[in-house]
Amino acid sequence: MLRLRVEAMRPVASEWAPHMIRKIAAVTLAVSFLAMSTSGMMMFVIEKPSFTLQMHPVHKLFGLIMVIAATAHISLNFRPLLKHLQERAVAVWGGLLVVLLVVLYGVALDNEVPDDLAAQMDSAAARAEGHD
């Protein structure tokens, strides 16, 4: 009898899946944000290239996981996001962040690393990540 009640309370698979995907995407996004922010802050505070190379695999892997989770989160919440962007202040803020992103990418790409130094850094990174 108890078995029937438990089974009766379970949602049908079609009702369960969207809610579970949304929950998994949110938790994955939160954990990957935690990993990215803590590893990024540690690299920012501990300004040693050797430490940055140590943290790089963590930062890179959770960056990929964060992109996947953020894509899922944005696609699952696209209409509310568009509604937020209808407010002028929010749209202006978002636009300013996009401009800042483009400017910083431009500055970073314009700051070329000499070829000999880049080769040394690439080699050190490959060894640190076990790709030698």
Distance between CA atoms of residues 90 and 83, nearest Å: 10
Domain carrying residue 102:
78-132
Cα angle 85, 26, 72 (rounded to 5 degrees) comes to: 65
pLDDT for 80 equals 94
pLDDT for residue 18 = 75
The answer for residues whose C-beta is within 8 angstroms of residue 84's C-beta and 6 or more apart is: 90
pLDDT of residue 5: 55
- Residues 3-10: what's their mean pLDDT? 55
**40 and 84 part of one domain:** no
Number of separate domains in the chain: 2
Residue 16, pLDDT score: 63
Block residue for tokens 């029937």: 4
Long-range contacts of 40-43 (CB under 8 A, 24+ apart): none
CB-based contacts of 19, cutoff 8 Å, min separation 6: 11
Both 16 and 65 in one domain: the answer is yes
Q: Are 19 and 76 in contact (CB under 8 A)?
A: no
pLDDT band at 19 (very low <50, low <70, confident <90, very high): confident
Output the pLDDT for position 59: 93
**Residue range 29-37: mean pLDDT, rounded:** 96
Residue 25 CA to residue 37 CA, distance in Å, equals: 18
Burial class (CB in 10 A: 0-12, 13-18, 19+), 33: middle
The pLDDT of residue 132: 66
Residues 71, 83, single domain; the answer is no
Asked if 92 and 67 sit in the same domain, the reply is no
Which amino acid makes up residue 98? V
Amino acid identity at 92: V
Average pLDDT, the chain: 87
Asked if 12 and 71 sit in the same domain, the reply is yes
Same domain, 53 and 83: no
DSSP code of 113?
Answer: P
